[in-house]
A and B are shown apart, each in its own frame.
Chain A
Amino acid sequence: MSKISEVVKRARAAFKSGRTRPLQYRLPQVEAARLRYRLQQLEALRRMIQEREADFVGALAADLHKNEWTAYYEEMVYVLEEIDYMIQKLPEWAADEPVEKTPRTQHDESYIHSEPLGVVLIMGTWNYPFNLTIQPMVGAIAAGNAVVLKPSELSENMASLLATVIPQYMDKDMYPVINGGVPETTELLKERFDHIFYTGSTGVGKIVMTAAAKHLTPVTLELGGKSPCYVDKDCDLDVACRRIAWGKFMNSGQTCVAPDYILCDPSIQNQIVEKLKKSLKEFYGDDAKKSRDYGRIISPRHFQRVMGLIEGQKVVHGGTGDAASRYIAPTILVDVDPQTQVMQEEIFGPVLPIVCVRSLDEAIQFIGQREKPLALYVFSNNDKVIKKMIAETSSGGVTANDVIVHITVHSLPFGGVGHSGMGSYHGKKSFETFSHRRSCLVRSLQNEDLNKARYPPSPAKVRGGERPGALAGQGKPVASGLTVPPCPSSQMTRH
C-alpha cells in the first residue's frame, strides 16, 4: 500500500475512533465532550497561527513577496476571525435543529441532526496559500471530520511549513498534511473521501469532480473566471478607480475575485486610466518594483503567461516585467479587442484591460455571452443601474461600488456558479458544507391505535368493480381512499 493510502487510512481510523463524535447521545456531559475535542483542535490551530506568525509571514514573503502587513491583513486575519467565530458559534450550530411538525407528528420529535461526513480532502492553492488551505479546514474541523490537507506545491515554502508545523499542534492522525505535485495529487484523488474541497482552476476542477464521481463523493469547487467590472458614467470616478486599483493589483493581480477587466463607455476611458495611474502611484510609488507592498508572480511559467497577454495590446501604463524577480509592472490596456487572448482566459496577473461598451445593455450582453464569473462588480451612483446589472447577470457574488469585500462578510456564502464553481463556504456555510444534515423523526411505540387508518385493507373502491387479475400481466388498481406516504405533505391533508 502506498504511503498516501496509509495516511488516508489512518485518518479514517482516527475518525472512526469517534473522538469527534460521541458514542452516546443526548447526555449533556457527552455533548460537551464531543464539542470539546473539536474546540481544542480549533484552539490549537489558533495558537499555531499566533505563535508561528513570523514563520508564516516568512513563507509568504518567499513564495509571493508578501510583507507582514499583506500577509496578516490579506490572509491570516480572516482565518483567525473564522476560528473565533466558529468557536463561538459551534455549540449553537452543532445542536439539533427542531423543525415544524405535521398534525400527525405533533407528539414526536423531529429535527435535523448535524453529523460529520467522515474524511474530508482539502486541496489548497498557491495565491493565498495560507488562507485558502486553512480557512476551509476550520469548517471541516468544526463539523467533526478528519481532514487530509494537500497544499499547493507551487507555493512551496508554505507547503513545506504547513507539513512541519500542523503536526506539532494538532492531532497528527486526524489532520495529516500530504505534499507533492501532479503524480501525488492524482494518486490522492483515487482514494475515497467523504467530501472533496478544491480551490483552483476550472480545468482541474473537472478532473477533481470526475475522480469524485467514481466514489460518489460530493465536492465543493472554488474555481475562477473573468470577473467583470462595469464602471458607469454616473459615478465618482476617483473613488471607483482607487478601489478598483486596490483590488486588482493586490497580490500582483493573483486573486480569484480581483476585477479582471473593466467595461465602460469610451467617453470615460481616458479619465479612468488617469485616475487608475494616480492611485497606483499613491499605492506603489513611481516604480512598483521598489515598493515593499507590491507582490511577485508565483512562478516563471505564470510570469511568461501573463507577459504574453500584454503582447500586441495598447499599453497606457506599465507593460514591462523582469523575469529574474518575476516582477510585472502594474499594467493598463485600452481599446482591448474582446477576441484577443487577454480576454479569453482569467488574467490572474497585474494587467487590467479596458473594453469599451456603449451602454449598460451592451455591458450586460457582453457579460452574458461569457461563462458565469466568480465575482461581478458595478460602480454607479444610480441604484437602477446596479439593480439592472445584478438582475440581468449571474455570478458567484457581487459587490457594488467596491471590489472583493463581499467575501469578507461572515454571513455571506463564498462560492461560484457555473464554471466559477459549485458549493460555498465561510462562517456557518462552512459548517454546513462539511456536515451531513440528517433528517430525524423519533416516534414512540405507543398509540398504535392512531395508525389503524393507514394500514390496509382500505375501504375498497376498486375502479369500475373490476376483479383483481383483470389486468393480467400488468399492474393492479390499488384501492383509493387512503392517503399514504411517501407523497410528501399528503399526511398534512388528512388525519
Chain B
Amino acid sequence: MDPVEDTLRRLREAFNSGRTRPAEFRAAQLKSLGHFLQDNKQLLQDALAQDGGLRVGEGRWATQLDAAFIRKEPLGLVLIIAPWNYPLNLMLVPLVGALSAGNCVVLKPSEISKSTEKVLAEVLPRYLDPSCFAVVLGGPQETGQLLEHKFDYIFFTGSPRVGKIVMAAAAKHLTPVTLELGGKNPCYVDDDCDPQIVANRVAFFRYFNTGQTCVAPDYVLCSPEMQERLLPALQSAITRFFGDDPQSSPNLGRIISQKQFQRLQGLLGCGRVAVGGQSDESDRYIAPTVLVDVRETEPVMQEEIFGPILPIVNVRGLDEAVDFINRREKPLALYAFSNSNQVVTQVLARTSSGAFCGNDGFMHMTLTSLPFGGVGASGMGRYHGKFSFDTFSHHRACLLRCAGMEKVNDLRYPPYTDMKVQLLSWSLSQSCSLL
C-alpha cells in the first residue's frame, strides 16, 4: 500500500480536470502563498533560526502568461525537492514558478532542516488548494520511493551525487529535470586590486549563512604576494563583521547538523590555519577560518566546503589560475577580482561556470533578469523570474493554417514531374515557403 500513490493520483486527477489552467486560479494560489509568508513571518523566522540562523526574504514573483504561436502550457505534476541550507527560499521560489505555470506540485522538503520542514508540512497546506498540492516527508529512503513514481518535471536542489540519482530515476519515466547542484566556486584575486576591498567582499559572501551557500566563494586563487596582503585584510573584515569573539556574534550562524559539523571540523586540519580555526561541538560552531599552504590533494580542495572555511591556493599569474580552474569540474559560480577589466573578462572568456561575477560575490543572484543554474557537474536547467515560468512550462509550437490556398500547396504533392521540379525551384528562389 503506497500512500504516496493515492496522493499523486489525486493530484493528477485535479490537473486533468483543468483546475490549474485559468490565470485566476494561479494568481489566487500565488497571492495565497504571499499571505502564507506574511501571516507566518515570525513562525518562519523562528524555524529558520532553529535550523541554522537564517533569514526570510521577501519575494516578488513573476507571472507571465504569454499567448503566441508558442503556447506555454503546464506540464502536469511537478516534484520539487529542496535542500536544507535555504530551506524556505529553495522550496518556495521554484514553487512559485511551478504554480504560475499552472502545474500541480508535490514538495519534498529536506528532513535535515526540521523546523522549516514542519512549517511547510503543517502550515503551508492551509494556504494552497489541497487538490493541487501536497507535501511529502521523509529521508533518503522515502525520497527514493517517491522518485519511482512518474512526474512531469522534477526540480532538484542538492549535491551532484544525489543529482545523478534523481536524473537516473527520472530517465525511467522520461521526465525532464532541472538540477541545481554545486561545486567548488573559485575566486581569483589578481595582484592589481585593493586587498581590503576584496577581503570585505570575499569574507562577506564566504561567511554568509555560515558558508552554507551553493554559490559562495569556495577557495581563493592568488599569488603569494597577494596572499600576504589578503590575510590581514581578511582578519580585519572578519573582526569587523563578527567582533573579536565570533562565537558570540548574533550575525554568525551555526552548522546545520552534527554530521556536517564533524566533516567541517575535519577540514580545519588541512594546510595551516591563518585566521580562526576554532570550533565548538556542543554549539556546532566553526569560527570564520582562512587556511593557507593547502595542497590540491587535501580534502578541503577535493569537496565543496559548504562551511565558514576559506582556503587560499597560490598561483603565479592568470594562466596558472585558469589552468587550475579548467582542470576541475565546472562550478556553479566563478569570481574574479581585479582593477583591470581586461583581467576580469579574460577569466570569463577562458573558463566556464553556471554564472560569473566580477569584483564581487554572488550579487548576480539578486537580478531576476539573470537565469540561475549550473553547467556540467554543477547542474542543468535554470530558473528565477521568467526563467522559472519557462522551466515549468511546455513550449508547444502551434501553427494554424487555413483550408484555402490549396493551389499553392499543389507543388508539394507527388507526382514530382520535371515541370513541377522546375516550378518548385523557381518558387523557392523567390523565397516563398510552399510547405
Query: Which residues of A pack against B, CB within 8 Å?
Result: 16, 18, 21-26, 67-70, 73, 77, 99-102, 104-105, 110, 112-113, 115, 117-118, 194, 202, 205-206, 209-210, 212-214, 216, 218, 221, 223, 235-236, 239-240, 242-243, 246, 279, 282-285, 291-294, 368, 379, 381, 386, 390-392, 394-402, 405-409, 411-414, 417-419, 421-424, 436-445, 448, 451, 454-458, 460, 462-463, 468-469, 471-480, 483-493
A425 CA to B362 CA, complexed, in Å: 32
Contact between A291 and B415 (Cβ–Cβ < 8 Å)?
yes
Nearest chain B CB to A406 CB, angstrom units:
4
10 contacts between A and B (CB under 8 A): A24-B346, A110-B370, A202-B174, A216-B379, A285-B415, A398-B396, A402-B399, A442-B357, A442-B359, A472-B283
Q: Is the pair B241, A488 in contact by a Cβ cutoff of 8 Å?
A: no
Neighbouring A residues of B21 by C-beta, 8 Å: 391
User: How many angstroms from the CA of A213 to the CA of B55 in the assembled complex?
Assistant: 34
> Do A457 and B367 form a contact, CB below 8 Å, given A69-B421, A240-B403, A398-B399?
no
A-B contacts counted at CB < 8 A amount to: 362
Kindly state the separation between the CA atoms of A83 and B52 in the bound complex, as whole angstroms.
54
Chain B residue at minimal CB-CB distance from A246: B413
When chains A and B are docked, how far (Å) is the Cα of A214 from the Cα of B167?
8
Contact, CB under 8 Å: B283 / A493: no
Q: Which of A67, A69, A457 contacts B241 (CB 8 A)?
A: A457
A426 to chain B, nearest CB (A): 9
Min CB gap A234→B, angstroms: 11
B415 to chain A, nearest CB (A): 6
Cα A113 to Cα B364 with chains together (Å): 13
Interface residues of B (CB under 8 A from A): 16, 18, 21, 45-46, 48-60, 69-71, 73, 75-76, 86, 89, 93, 152, 160, 163-164, 167-168, 170-172, 174, 176, 179, 181, 193-194, 197-198, 200-201, 204, 208, 213, 215, 240-243, 248-254, 282-284, 326, 337-339, 341, 344-346, 348-350, 352-360, 362-372, 375-377, 379-382, 384-385, 394-403, 406, 409, 412-416, 420-421, 424, 428, 433, 435
A221:B174 contact, CB within 8 angstroms: yes
CB neighbours (8 Å) of A401 from chain B are: 400-403
Q: Is the CB of B415 within 8 A of A284?
A: yes
**Given A400-B401, A442-B357, A489-B366, CB of A412 within 8 Å of CB of B69:** yes
**Is there an interface contact between B406 and A239, defined as CB atoms closer than 8 Å?**
yes
- The answer to whether B415 and A438 touch across the interface, beta carbons within 8 angstroms, is no
Q: Is the CB of B375 within 8 A of A471?
A: no
Inter-chain contacts of B344 with A (CB < 8 A): 442
Q: Are A477 and B402 in contact (CB under 8 A)?
A: no
Cβ-defined contact, B363 with A456, below 8 A: no
Give the nearest-CB partner of B42 in chain A: A463
Q: Are A406 and B366 in contact (CB under 8 A)?
A: no
With CB as the reference atom, state the residue of chain B lying closest to A472: B283
On whether the beta carbons of A419 and B174 are closer than 8 Å, the reply is yes
What CA separation (Å) do A346 and B227 show in the bound complex? 64
A413-B70, A489-B366 are contacts. A23–B45 as well, Cβ < 8 Å? no
Interface centre among A73, A423, A458 (most CB of B within 10 A): A73
Partner of B360, one of A194, A239, A399, A443: A443
CB distance from A204 to the nearest CB of B (A): 11
Of B163, B243, B433, chain A has the most CB atoms within 10 Å of the CB of B433
Contact status A474-B397, CB under 8 Å: no
8 Å CB contact of B45 from A112, A477, A489: A477
A478 with B349: CB separation less than 8 A: no
Q: How far is A408 from B428 in the complex, measured between Cα atoms in Å?
A: 14
Residue of B nearest to A395 (CB): B396
Residues in B neighbouring A223, C-beta threshold 8 A = 174
- List, in ascending order, chain A residues with CB within 8 A of B204's CB: 454-456
- Say whether B53 contacts A478, CB under 8 Å: yes
Which residue of the partner chain, among B60, B348, B350, contacts A492 with CB atoms under 8 Å?
Answer: B60
Bound-state CA distance A437–B369 (Å) is 13
Q: Complex: how many Å from CA A206 to CA B325?
A: 33
CA distance A473 to B53 in the complex (A): 12
The one of B58, B197, B326 in contact with A487, judged by C-beta atoms closer than 8 angstroms, is B58
Cβ–Cβ contact A476 & B401, under 8 A: no
What's the nearest-Cβ distance from chain B to residue A398, in Å? 5
A445 in contact with B197 given A105-B366, A412-B399, A436-B375 (CB within 8 Å): yes
| CB <8 Å contact, B397 and A413 | yes
Q: Are A408 and B435 in contact (CB under 8 A)?
A: yes
Q: Cα distance A409–B381 when bound, in Å?
A: 25
Q: Apart from A213-B164, A213-B171, list 7 A-B contacts with CB within 8 A.
A: A73-B435, A210-B172, A213-B170, A386-B400, A405-B401, A424-B395, A457-B251
Please tell me if the beta carbons of B380 and A418 are within 8 angstroms of each other in the complex. no
The residue on A at minimum CB distance from B89 is: A487
Tell me whether A414 and B73 are in contact (CB under 8 A).
Answer: no
A405 nearest in chain B by CB position: B435
Complex: A395 Cα to B71 Cα, angstroms: 11
A475 touches B371 (CB 8 A): no
Contact B168 A210 (CB under 8 A): yes
CB nearest to A68 among chain B residues: B421
- Chain B residues, CB < 8 A from A418: 152, 174
Instruction: Given A23-B350, A283-B413, decide whether A445 and B359 contact each other with a Cβ distance below 8 A.
Output: yes
Distance in angstroms from B427 CB to nearest chain A CB is 11
Q: A474 CA to B358 CA in the complex, in Å?
A: 36
Query: Cα distance A60–B372 when bound, in Å?
Result: 44
State which of B49, B71, B363 has its C-beta within 8 Å of the C-beta of A471: B49
A100, B367: Cβ atoms closer than 8 Å: yes
Q: How far is the CA of A59 from the CA of B28 in the complex (A)?
A: 58
Q: Which of A386, A474, A486 lies at the interface centre, i.e. has the most chain B CB atoms within 10 A of its CB?
A: A486
Chain A proximity of B344: nearest CB distance (Å): 6
